[in-house]
Amino acid sequence: MKFYQAVVAAQGRLSASAALARTQEFYRLFLAPGMDHCGGGPGPNQFGQAGGTGDAEHDMVVALEQWVEKGVAPTRLMATKFLSDDKAKGVAMTRPLCLFPQIAKYKGSGAVTDAANFVCAAE
């Protein structure tokens, strides 16, 4: 996080929003709340890093390819938490991973385990 903030700050004499926009042209940060360092943890922790689904919304590698090869930058990723971290056991929850500085906010209705009930918004 400190490195990302340093990159934003290094964009020159720009307003904070302009510096963030310039940084996001080449560097995007998606936080994964509840995920341990490389995987696991109580939160949604699968989004392509261990063999994804092959679509840019659920697979960070495909999202990166789309950005680099086609100029389509990701604005959010969808993360999944499997029961006992085992895909064969089914989905425990899904949650959007939002482009920083946005966070996933619950809309106020529906299951808190379903990403459809969250929106990416400013903190």
pTM of the model: 0.90
Chain segment 92-108, per-residue pLDDT in tens:
999 999 999 999 999 99
3-state DSSP assignment of residue 52: coil
3-state DSSP assignment of residue 3: helix
Does 51 score more than 80 pLDDT? Answer: no
